[in-house]
Amino acid sequence: MSTRAKATLAASFAFSSFIIWAVHYQQAREREDMFQGVIRDDARRLEKMRQREEEFRASSRKREIFEQVQNIAPSDQSNKI
């Protein structure tokens, strides 16, 4: 085998090895990025649940205050059909 053929074989081996490593590295990075997205989504979901709970408590407090101030008569549901 000539020196030129050996160099070409070595270069193609090195290039192929680099490509394989780069693809695996990129897949690992994308997997990590996707996992971080899941973590961010969970944090957003928990924050939204906390805000909704806070709004519900505020609404409940307002309702209690309004019920103390105003007389609320029970409605007749049979007439609303």
Residue 1 belongs to some domain of the structure: no
Task: Identify whether 78 is part of a domain.
Answer: no
Q: Tell me if 4 is assigned to some domain.
A: no
Domain count, the chain: 1
For 42, the domain range is 23-66
34, part of any domain: yes
Q: At residue 77, does pLDDT exceed 90?
A: no
Region 20-43 average pLDDT: 96
Whether 10 is in a domain gets the answer no
The C-alpha atoms of residue 26 and residue 24 are separated, in whole angstroms, by 5
- Asked whether residue 57 is assigned to any structural domain, the reply reads yes
Residue 72 located in a structural domain = no
* Among candidate residues 49, 23, 28, 22, the one with its CA nearest the CA of residue 36: 28
Residue 58 lies in a domain: yes
pLDDT at residue number 78? 58
Burial bucket for residue 73 (CB in 10 Å: 0-12, 13-18, 19+):
exposed
